[in-house]
Structure 1
Amino acid sequence: NFVLTQPSSVSGSSGQKVTISCTRSSGDIGDDSVHWYQQRPGSAPTTVIYRDDERPSGVPDRFSGSIDSSSNSASLTISGLQSEDEADNYCLSYDSSDSHTVLQTMGK
């Protein structure tokens, strides 16, 4: 198993670009996809980046994700910073070799 470590906080001024890092403790960062979630105060988390660098429909292109194998870390970059970007941002990954269960539901 591995641990993902993020800085406790990052800050920037309006219009600036900020980058949030997510460092993997063991194994290669590229072995398993990294996903990023943003949670604004009083709201449920939403996906802003999935599979390292993919952006869901509706997420502005100010948000981008990347992987850096040299530092064994992933990054979320937000450019053109806006006041609405103030939020908690979480990285998530999991070991694809771990046991897991797929639940399927059958429609009528």
Structure 2
Amino acid sequence: MTFIILMLILGMYFQDSTGQVTVIQTPAEKHVQNGQTVTLTCKTSSAIGDLSNGWCKNCFSWFLQKPGESPKLLVHSIKTLQSGTPSRFSGNGADHGTDFTLTISGVQTEDTGDYYCMSYQHINSKDVFTQ
């Protein structure tokens, strides 16, 4: 059985005194078979940074939204699985990096939906969230 994992390409722009922060997700749409492995990518235009006090270490997350439902947090802090997220999901990327991935090993039909990444930057004493 073939099913579709949809992923939106999002470019959110926030103007700040340091310039623009953008986030791009790829691919826009991915068709996979049950049991296959799929990797989704999110690239930020500036490095994801930590606050000096450490309360927001590795601020990067992945969400899954199914039709008619609210987004569900899958992965936070780049690599940490949210409680209840199946182990077939894994996040990857470097602390203070710009390239992040979500890999689903052994895709199942229930994984169908829209996937979003969210990043956090602390720029000139302002919190900037992008999705």
TM range (shorter): 0.7 to 0.9
In structure 2, which of residues 65, 79, 86 is the aligned counterpart of residue 60 of structure 1?
86
Give, in angstroms, the shift of residue 11 of structure 1: 2.3
Describe how 1:24-103 pairs up with structure 2 within 5 A.
24-25=44-45, 27-28=46-47, 30-31=48-49, 33-67=59-93, 72-97=98-123, 98-100=125-127
Corresponding residue pairs, total: 97
Q: TM-score, normalised by structure 1?
A: 0.80
Q: Distance in 1 between matches of 2:116 and 2:74?
A: 10
Q: Distance in 1 between matches of 2:68 and 2:34?
A: 22
Give the match's secondary structure for 2:100. Answer: strand
Q: Quote the RMSD (CA, aligned, Å).
A: 1.9
Q: Counterpart of 2:37? A: 17
Q: Identify, as 1 or 2, the structure richer in strand.
A: 2
List structure 1 segments (4+ residues) > 6 angstroms apart after TM superposition.
none
Q: TM-score, normalised by structure 2?
A: 0.67
Over 3 Å counting, the alpha-carbon distance change for 1:95 and 1:72 in structure 2 is closer
- In the alignment, structure 2 segments of 5+ residues that lack a partner are 1-19, 50-57
- In the alignment, structure 1 segments of 5+ residues that lack a partner are 101-108
Q: Is this contact kept in 2: 1:11–1:18, CA < 8 A?
A: no
Q: Distance in 1 between matches of 2:94 and 2:44?
A: 11
